[in-house]
Amino acid sequence: MVPEPAPGGAVIRVVEYPGELNPRGTLVLCSSCRASRDWLLLETRRRVFVRCRCGYEWEEGELDIDFFEENFSYADRSWGDAEQALTDLGFGGEFAGIYFN
């Protein structure tokens, strides 16, 4: 579950990552559905999370803020509500088992 941004508080940045994640030589797999690619990266308070199409999300300690910054170019969309953002991006869990890219 994504923490709701507190009023005036934390901003969550997200970026789609269609490929495989392979930090330090270990392939990242979703422990819920075993997907191996097509991720959403989330960053809040300099902590990086990975979210799967199935809706499973976890903090990925092997991915640091520098990695996120390398993949995040600029904010082209914004949402006031985290849940709405995830639904709009196709990461609300309704596409479990489906690769878009």
Q: Which residues bind Zn ion (CB under 5 A)?
A: 30, 32-33, 35, 52, 54, 56
Nearer to Zn ion, 10 or 33 (CB): 33
* Cβ 80 to Zn ion shortest distance, Å: 26
Q: Which is nearer to Zn ion, 11 or 27 (CB)?
A: 27
Q: How far is the CB of 30 from Zn ion (least distance, A)?
A: 3
32 or 44: whose CB is closer to Zn ion? 32
Q: Are 49 and 42 in contact (CB under 8 A)?
A: yes
The least distance separating Zn ion from the CB of residue 14, rounded to whole angstroms, comes to 16
Buried b / exposed e over 7-39, threshold 16 CB at 10 Å, is eeeeebebbebeeebeeeeeebebeeeebebbb
Query: What is d(CA 32, CA 24) in angstroms, rounded to the nearest whole number?
Result: 22
